[in-house]
Structure 1
């Protein structure tokens, strides 16, 4: 009995360590990769791939010999130590690839870096899974060893996921990683029998580690910014619930960065006065203004000088207060006096219809991530339109464009915004420049380009601007350039709209980024031009060929391969649930960086609970009959996700959405012990580690393909449609398998 509880605890430690390291490295890679959620899929893919390799190697290693129990805490220590090494290495990724000062990291560079750095921690976790499965089988702890470890491993992930959600509000990623290692290794150490072999490691961990993390984090951040630009000086930094914020001194000025992307210059008075003067003359008589995001640099302060009531909404309150702490006393006092600040999600506030405004100013930057793209979708424009007063105007600042020329990708990106605005507003005005400014309204008298009208509106407000004069409008509002830009956007054949669940901005921003980093290479453009029908036909042909090959091979061998292939399909399906739910959560609620621990914990709670329940009842369960029904049910649930998302968006209840993570986790978790049971009956020898390897391999392929290709190119619905085809193929495999064996 004591041995059984020890192995249960080891399995929970394995899940806790794996989930904790995964969460922290995901957050770390997002900060290095500029907050882009595409990296979530790439990192998850490589993580699962190496776990699968480790599990397969472990299966082969322990096929003929039994491992010693003390190897588990030793392996746990090495896996967390290697994860700390990966964390440190991310700060020097620019040096590894000799990235010049000021140049962005390419997506391919980050993926390759993740590939060779994650193999050790992830491979060790997979290896430890196979080790525990063998220990369970040798000690008779459970007849279904892999399902047993899988279930308790999932329960361990729940604990650490919830714990980290709280800890990451107050501590940096590295502090949490060190704490996780100290806690888990200490507990595993006291449970092992061979303490003398592990005592030196334990003493090293206890004595040397506690004072290190914060000082190491500070050192690494200083080194990282020095690799971005040798003239950058890191003045201050802070981890918030939404990323890593830094104050950088450069050329005598202070700049705010979040996740490696410049948010704004602090107190950039000259540019902000010009921008405020450009925006506020596009309403005949504005009185009440809403500024959404991007106000750390002082745009709202300059708008207040037009004698207006200013409301500001910022999602990341910690970062906003962090930036304000570095303003001079005059600017800080002006904030307190002139502006009403709301720390809230602007989309959610607009849904609640708290007020109406004469102008809504959107300043979230380029739509490079789901967090920013959610403000450029048709749904957001509907919410903004409903919150505008009579003659109200929606203004969009600093949208990526070109001073005198738009490449194909930039043109399509701007055309998508133009199309989406036109779907909700009858009048659109676009000001060209290095970054474009868009105005949208349903009142024809609001938007004007005539210089006398603009100067009259400016004079009526009588603002106190030291760095702007009305004569500057002749440069900003050049009617010939405005007409040419509008004609270019109107005549472009691209008709795609940007919606919550078909985020068009992803693909165009990725193509722009690729062209900047790799030049005029057309390979990626050709890949992203593949029609959806071609993908469906290609996938269908491959699946039909596989079904026929397995049907006409020897029954025993085919039975084993069907189970492995079904495990890979289930892994792919599980990853579809995970990635789609994470991206949709980011789109609807805007804070997956903060909630990723809870989301993954709830998903694993459903998976672990269902797996444990089925593991205990597996002897009386007919797995071959249950599995096709579960695969069929998974396909149906995937098809229902889009209407469920739409309903939850209307209800505005995040807890109900979190329930989707639990339900999908339970659905996937139910299948694993059934697969183990099916393989045990089909195989002539125990190969449970290979089931785990097949499962994570399918998940690895799914994570990469879904986040890097399917979602950016085809959107959510077509992605789940392809996964549903895979699920129904799994049903066919098991129906055929049952008939053949009979």
Structure 2
């Protein structure tokens, strides 16, 4: 027969196991959110370079693996962990946003700096996440831990994705998830809980300041688009849009934009009635000077779409003939930009224009002298066209 002491011991062990499972679930929930938010911040700072994605996941897994190993070897300070975990996350976010201050304003950050930035900002949260799993495996069965970890990941992914769809600021998403983490894990430790809530309130108050660290100019609004972070700067005729810290288009037409529209229209061998504009970086304003034109557009970022035009996906399913196809993208900087400079792209454009149509794109290079890099870009494009 079980004695009262044995029953109490079993009950206490059951409570401990449930506490461990909840801790694992909440840690996993926050981990997914941190990965998503930090990755989007990295892409903004490093101009949308997809190279960042692989580095981020690889370094995250390395730090997590190291944390799991350490957690299985040392005593786990359960009371102290949540506060250290939250501090490491918030500190990582602030350091991440302050990282561009180390470079000249407006300078495109070199690739090597991304590794340094990622290691510096996400290693601690990833390490603590692995530390929890490694420590809890000493007192709990592995199978339930995996199940609750996956459950937390799914919940975190659902919350983060839903809030991003509704354009919620990154710091609000992070604060909400960390608040959930604190309420579940620290509910029986009021002093720790109050300390955590004070930290979250403080990070919300300095959000606007930390955002300004990422940009070398004054911005009027920030939105999270499907292609990255979109920033508006200036007003009236000086209004400009930036995508992932790179200028995308301006309200005032630049000479290169005017030439990319008016020259093809003037030089076309046949009269132009229908135009397909791919990625409007300012060309649409110039095309509006020709009211007789029928204009279709392809814009991968929904927030850049203007009302009153038909938007298609690429490649267009409708094989309509266009008298003129304009491509607004310039020199490709990221892998996603290269899709408009491939053999398949040019062949599809040829199908859309036929033998009588015209295709135009503008690569902004030096006016008088081509640098070796610019000369290489020109040669690559000519080789592709041939």
- TM-score norm. by structure 2 comes to 0.85
Matched, 1:157 2:124: no
Q: Is 1:294 aligned to residue 280 of structure 2?
A: yes
Deviation of 1:178 (Å)? 0.7
Instruction: List, as ranges, runs of 4+ consecutive aligned residues in structure 1 with deviation greater than 6 Å.
Output: none
Listed as ranges, the matches of 1:286-325 within 5 Å are 286-295=272-281, 297=282, 299-306=283-290, 307-320=292-305
* Partner residue of 2:181 out of 172, 175, 184: 184
- The residue correspondences of 1:19-30 to structure 2 (distance < 5 A) are 19-30=32-43
Per the alignment, residue 93 of structure 2 pairs with 87
Secondary structure at the counterpart of residue 353 of structure 1: coil
RMSD, aligned α-carbons: 2.8
Task: Name the CA shift for 1:319/1:166 in 2 (closer, same or farther; >3 Å).
Answer: farther
Contact between 2:296 and 2:309, CA under 8 Å: does it hold in 1? yes
Show the 5 A alignment for 1:402-481. Answer: 402-422=366-386
Partner of residue 9 from structure 1, selected from 18, 22, 25: 22
Contact 1:15 1:153 in 2 (8 A): yes
Structure number with larger C-alpha Rg: 1
**3-state secondary structure, aligned to 2:48:** coil
The alpha carbon displacement at 1:305 in A equals 2.0
Change (3 A) 1:271 1:420: closer
Distance in 1 of aligned mates of 2:93 and 2:305: 26
Q: Which residue of 2 aligns with 1:263?
A: 248
Q: Which has the higher helix share?
A: 1
* Separation in structure 1 between the aligned mates of residue 149 and residue 344 of structure 2, nearest angstrom: 39
Aligned equivalent of 1:117: 121
Q: CA separation in 2, counterparts of 1:269 and 1:403?
A: 14
Alpha-carbon deviation of 1:124? Answer: 1.3
Alignment of 1:114-153 (within 5 A): 114-136=118-140, 142=141, 145=142, 148-153=144-149
Any stretches of 5+ residues in structure 1 without a counterpart?
137-141, 322-335, 423-742
Checking the alignment, whether the CA contact within 8 Å between 2:47 and 2:108 is kept in structure 1 is no
8 Å contact from structure 1 (residues 233, 250) kept in 2? no
Partner of 1:722: none
Partner deviation per Cα, 1:597-624 (whole Å, 9 max, x = no partner): xxxxxxxxxxxxxxxxxxxxxxxxxxxx
What residue number does 1:371 align with? 336
Distance 2:177 2:360 in 1: 46
The aligned runs of 1:657-736 (5 Å cut-off) are none
Matched, 1:100 2:97: no
In the alignment, the residues of structure 2 paired with residue 261 and residue 380 of structure 1 have an alpha-carbon distance, to the nearest angstrom, of 24
Q: CA deviation at 1:184?
A: 2.0
Aligned mates of 1:34, 1:241 — CA distance in 2 = 14
Task: Provide the rounded CA distance (Å) in 1 between the counterparts of 2:177 and 2:160.
Answer: 9
Q: Distance in 2 between matches of 1:403 and 1:2?
A: 73
Structure 2 SS opposite 1:241: coil
Q: Matched residue of 1:237: which SS?
A: strand
Q: Indicate if the aligned counterparts of 1:237 and 1:245 stay in contact, CA closer than 8 A.
A: yes
Specify the SS of the correspondent of 1:263. Answer: strand
Per-residue deviation, residues 245-296 of structure 1 (Å, max 9, x unmatched): 112239982221111101122232655333311222342221100111134x
Q: 1:408 Cα deviation (Å)?
A: 4.2
Question: What are the superposed Cα offsets for residues 71-122 of structure 1, whole Å, 9 maximum, x if unpaired?
Answer: 4xx4244323322221122222132x3x223322211123212222223222
Contact 1:353 1:387 in 2 (8 A): no
- Structure 1 residues 21 and 359: alpha-carbon distance in aligned structure 2, compared to 1, 3 A threshold: same
Q: Normalising by structure 1, what TM-score?
A: 0.46
> Is residue 240–residue 249 contact of structure 2 (8 Å, CA) maintained in 1?
yes
Deviation digits for residues 318-358 of structure 1 (CA, Å, limit 9, x no counterpart): 2446xxxxxxxxxxxxxx6xx5142x5x314x1x1263311
| Separation (CA, whole Å) in 1 of partners of 2:198 and 2:104 | 40
Residues 240 and 125 (structure 1), Cα distance of their counterparts in 2 relative to 1, 3 Å cut = same
Partner of 1:244: 229
State whether residues 274 and 322 of structure 2, in contact with CA within 8 Å, keep that contact through their aligned partners in structure 1.
yes
1:395 aligns with 2:354: no
| Preserved CA contact (<8 Å) 2:32 2:153 | yes
